[in-house]
A and B are shown apart, each in its own frame.
Chain A
Amino acid sequence: MNKIDNAIKTVHHMDYYANHNGYLNKIHPLVKLLITIIYIVLLTSIDKYNLVMTLAMSIYLILISIIGDLSIKNALKNLKVVLLLLFILGIANPILDRTIITYIGIVPVTTGMISMFTLLLKGIFAILASYFLILTTSIEEICYALKMIHMPNILITVVMLIYRYIIVFLKEVQRIWVAYQMRAPKQKGVHYKAWGSLIGSLMLRSIDRAQVVYESMELRGFNPDTFFVKKEKVDKKSWVYFCLMLALLIILRFVPIFEIIGGIFI
């Protein structure tokens, strides 16, 4: 099944990227994690009608995509399902909140429309920021960083395993799908009578396999108490990156730059 194939490829591709040697990959994972968290916190704290400031927050993403040589277009393509969900969530706003504030031509603009756009943008930006973090930081490094901010081991292990199991799960879907197709070649999709048993065996097999993968990790010395500990200190370059990014984020969030720039030209 092509879609599953693509999903597996995407996950592996992300993993591969994360282990690549780009500029952002060399920044200390803790710094990247903190900056991403700060970005998302600042972003979500913007007033829901403040479309302009929300837009300004995109400058951070553009900058990251330039330094890290990451494509925003590809990112949006890979995340389209999530974006669709966001859109469905946001659509309620213009329906519930219909106070008209201005007109563009003869089209009325309501506060609900503004808040829908801000919400959508906030969602997209937050997802992009996390996605860029994952693209430039391997899951192990994210786990080290989580350990450094004293997340409990059990949660970190879960984060790491979920990530590993996504692939295990998708592969299981693929195997069952292929096995089914080979023996029911005339069928388009899965016959409704077969759904129950297919999903049942999918669950059982994924759990089984996840169990074996974990065993295989244990057999090779995996131990959450020591695995996530890394003695690497935050280096100078990463400190500089941290300070600059923090400054940028604060400016974007608290200084109405677009209005100031606009003011210069008026």
Chain B
Amino acid sequence: MIEVKEVSFSYNGSKKQTLSNMNFKIENEESVGIIGANGAGKSTILKLLVGLELSYQGNIIINNLKVEKQNLQEIRQKIGYVFQDSDSQLFMPTVYEDVAFAPRNYGFSKEEVDARTIEALKSIGIEELQDRQIYRLSGGEKKLASIATVLSMKPDILIFDEPTIALDPKNRRRFINVLNSLKGMKIVTSHDLDLIYDTCDRTILIADGKIIFDGDTKTILQNKDLLENNGLELPLSLQRR
């Protein structure tokens, strides 16, 4: 379970408060969408959850552990995080090596590492890319590869920052199916409200670092006025009604 209690945060050296007084709880089997305009603070809250920024006020508790330096290793073992920018995520020479990186670090046997890697590659449909060098991948292929790098960890909590941003319709659909088939907690940020609609039961809308709405996905995604006031539009699948 993730608990965020009265969390405020500003980036080093910036006067503006990026997040102010945030409060929410996410249960273990929930899938939650976080939406909001550019610069609303979506990526920032995700970074706080995995402890990439530690100088926040308030409390963030993950599985009864506070997010702070001495707990990071234990917390991160349970979380898979896909960055908004896949170039930051991939650093090994080949796709296979990159996907195998995490399970190797967790000390699994060679066979287990191999099995997890292949399974992750297959589930996302890129097993034929496994020997390709990272720098020869297209933008969308990189995105798929970075999704696979966390699937091989089999974490309890999956966090995706703009996962479908570079994907074509077919791969986007595939990703949605994979996401829906996975168990555990899932947190997704996106401007792709149809994606949120298809994968998340609950949605948190943030604007200027504050929570504007937190509740049922259908309710918020049908609320044209609320979305438009916060720089978003109705999802396509709901527009024709």
Residues of A within 8 A of B (CB): 8-9, 12, 15-16, 19, 164, 167-168, 171, 209, 212-213, 215-223, 226-227
Contacts and interface: CB of A to CB of B under 8 A. Distances in A.
Nearest to A168: B91
Interface stretch (B9-17, B76-84, B205-213): B76-84
B158 interface: no
B94 A216 contact: no
Contacts of B197: none
B73 A209 contact: no
Contact of B105 (A12, A213, A220): A220
Given A16-B133, A221-B76, A216 B93 contact: no
A226 B91 contact: no
Given A16-B93, A16-B94, A217-B91, 5 more contacts: A171-B87, A209-B88, A216-B91, A219-B50, A220-B150
A213 B101 CA distance: 13
B88 A12 contact: no
Interface residues of B, number: 28
Closest 9 pairs (CB-CB, A-B) = A221-B105, A220-B102, A15-B93, A212-B88, A213-B91, A216-B89, A12-B133, A219-B81, A221-B106
Interface in B50-78: 50, 52, 72-73, 76-77
B88 A8 contact: no
Residue of B77, B81, B101 ringed by the most chain A CB atoms within 10 A: B101
Nearest to A217: B91
A168 B88 CA distance: 9
Determine chain A's interface SS by DSSP, over half rule.
helix
B105 A227 contact: yes
20 contacts: A12-B93, A12-B133, A12-B134, A15-B93, A16-B94, A168-B91, A209-B87, A212-B83, A213-B88, A217-B101, A218-B76, A220-B105, A220-B150, A221-B76, A221-B106, A222-B105, A223-B73, A223-B105, A226-B105, A227-B105
A13 B81 CA distance: 29
Nearest to A172: B87
B104 to A, nearest CB: 8
B30 interface: no
A220 B149 contact: yes
A220 B153 contact: yes
A219 B82 CA distance: 10
B98 to A, nearest CB: 9
Contacts of A227: 105
Contacts of B72: 218
Nearest to A227: B105
Contacts of A171: 87, 135
A67 B50 CA distance: 47
A211 B149 CA distance: 19
B107 interface: yes
B97 interface: yes
A19 B107 CA distance: 20
Given A212-B88, A216-B89, A226 B83 contact: no
Contacts of B105: 220-223, 226-227
B102 A221 contact: yes
Contacts of B134: 12
Contacts of B76: 218-219, 221
B225 to A, nearest CB: 37
Contacts of A217: 91, 101
A209 to B, nearest CB: 6
A167 to B, nearest CB: 8
B135 A8 contact: yes
A222 B83 CA distance: 17
A15 B96 CA distance: 13
A171 B85 CA distance: 14
B52 A215 contact: yes
Contacts of B85: 212
Nearest to A138: B93
A213 B90 CA distance: 8
Contact of B79 (A164, A213, A215, A219): A219
B67 to A, nearest CB: 13
Contacts of B88: 209, 212-213, 215-216
Nearest to A220: B102
A9 B76 CA distance: 33
A209 B85 CA distance: 10
Contacts of B150: 220
A216 B93 CA distance: 15
